[in-house]
Amino acid sequence: MSHTVGIRQAQKQKTRQALLDAALQLLEEQSLSSLGLREVTRAVGVAPTAFYRHFRDMADLGVALVEEALGSLHLMIGEALHEPRDDARIERTVALVAELVRTSPAHVRFIARERHGGVAAVRAAIGEQLDRFGDEVAAAFAREAESAGWSGEDLRMLAGVYVDHMVMTASSLLEAGPGGEERAGALARRQLRLISLGRRHWLD
Amino acid sequence: MSHTVGIRQAQKQKTRQALLDAALQLLEEQSLSSLGLREVTRAVGVAPTAFYRHFRDMADLGVALVEEALGSLHLMIGEALHEPRDDARIERTVALVAELVRTSPAHVRFIARERHGGVAAVRAAIGEQLDRFGDEVAAAFAREAESAGWSGEDLRMLAGVYVDHMVMTASSLLEAGPGGEERAGALARRQLRLISLGRRHWLD
DNA sequence: TTGGCCGGAGAACGGTTGTTAACTGAACGT
DNA sequence: ACGTTCAGTTAACAACCGTTCTCCGGCCAA
């Protein structure tokens, strides 16, 4: 493969990652459309012009951040939904989101903030990823016995509700901050129970 | 009252409103934290320093926009929920949101964008308004016969789901653009039906 | 070992930003 | 009628922005 691991490439990836990390940190207190190129390079400790060696502009860096935040999540989500019992699945789903918020809060904040943010390319990238999540969740649901008789459209709707709820839960867990997590988690579990009840009686 | 309607005050309110309008329009393609003071005054046609006669800074203007967008909505929302039959209430709720998006899309976009945006004061103002909506919806639900046996916490949870869903619906109606509104509206109605089903079987 | 490649540095550019101060003139209270 | 208030103007400030061009020096393939 073109997986060259020369000293050259390694150093380049290193500063590229440093740029992404610095941007992510700076984005905790502002939004992407106000983040300056010089601001990021200054935080890393490189010349402003070095930025262009890695990204065309800030929108480009934003899209890369979307991939970094959401790209590696597709495996975990299907796994959590594999749980057969309703309450256990709810528990695992909320736990998954909670751990995500705990381990990488800045990524979560970035997604929540830029999902409807001012940079079109980033909005589109996030929407695309969330759509993929929706499709995968719908596929997971389709494999369950409880989904017998459901139309594809209804299944996709339900999956969308789940995905939207996960994003919302992540955001509220973030806002809750330390101490309020348990309360926010309990609320999210109750909401998921409500949705599960609706699902169970959908075909009545 | 201190409701002075002199020529002086009238002109001041006029340019203040012009600033708000210009800002709202500029915010369709960027977010508040990147909107410049000079940018707004230039669009209105006044000197940059005139801005300070009306707002302390951009965050201040943002909070005023929140009030303008959400302040006059409290009446309408209770009215829509007054509908007794489930499907009729769903219909009215979605219709209310759809009309709101049709008549003032820029306000809706602003709220969706800045709800998790980069300006703390504006985030707080939006959160406060949405909390008020939640309380009012919960109070409306509490008056219904179907809510017998519900705990206050559960009712507030349900109300929160409704409010969050309305915001989400507004946002997706906006993204759908002309032509896709009917599809987005149908999806929103289905989602509300799911929630209503969950509500009906909550105490089973 | 040589010669090209290329990530990064440096300097400079035109333009924009928020904020300050002093000033103007029309609406205002008396 | 007269002095005051005050929304808006003008001018200037230092700081910052994105982008271009030129140059340096270490990696790398031959």
Q: Measured in angstroms, what separates residue A55's CA from nucleotide C4's C1'?
A: 24
Any idea which fold A68-200 has? Tetracycline Repressor; domain 2 (1.10.357)
> Which pair of tokens denotes residue B181?
């509104």
Distance CA A130, CA B143 (A): 37
CB contact under 8 A, B202 and A204: no
pLDDT tens per residue across span A27-72: 999 999 999 999 999 999 999 999 999 999 999 999 999 999 999 9
Chain-centroid distance, C-alpha B90: 18
CB contact under 8 A, B194 and A202: yes
Q: How far apart are the first and last CA of chain B?
A: 54
Q: What is the mean pLDDT of residues B156-184?
A: 97
CB contact under 8 A, A199 and B201: no
Q: What is the mean pLDDT of residues B76-103?
A: 94
Q: Measured in angstroms, what separates residue A6's CA from nucleotide D27's C1'?
A: 8
Q: Which of A26-29's residues contact partners 24+ apart within 8 Å by CB, and which partners?
A: A27/A106, A27/A109, A27/A110, A27/A113, A27/B118, A28/A106, A28/A109, A29/B118, A29/B120
List the CATH code of the domain at B7-56: 1.10.10.60
CATH superfamily of domain region A7-55: Homeodomain-like (1.10.10.60)
Determine the pLDDT at residue A3.
Answer: 52
Q: Looking up tokens 């339900």, which residue turns up?
A: A158
Determine the pLDDT at residue B2.
Answer: 42
Residue to test with chain B: of A27, A39, A116, most B Cβ within 10 A = A116
Q: Is the CB of A47 under 7 A from strand D?
A: no
Residue A60: CB atoms within 10 A of its CB come to 14
Determine the pLDDT at residue A177.
Answer: 87
Distance CA B113, CA A41 (A): 27
Determine the pLDDT at residue A128.
Answer: 98
Q: Measured in angstroms, what separates residue A37's CA from nucleotide D25's C1'?
A: 25
Over pLDDT 70: what percentage of chain B? Answer: 98
pLDDT tens per residue across span B129-149: 999 999 999 999 999 999 999
Among candidates B171, B187, B197 on the partner chain, residue whose Cβ is nearest the Cβ of A202: B197
Distance CA B130, CA B167 (A): 9
CB contact under 8 A, A200 and B196: no
Domain ranges of chain B: 7-56, 68-200
What CA–CA distances, in Å, run from A126 to A122, B18, B124?
A: 6, 34, 24
Q: Is the pLDDT of residue B1 over 60?
A: no
Q: Looking up tokens 């409500």, which residue turns up?
A: A194
- Does the fold of domain A68-200 match that of domain A7-55? no
With a cut of 50, which residues of chain A have pLDDT below it? 1-2
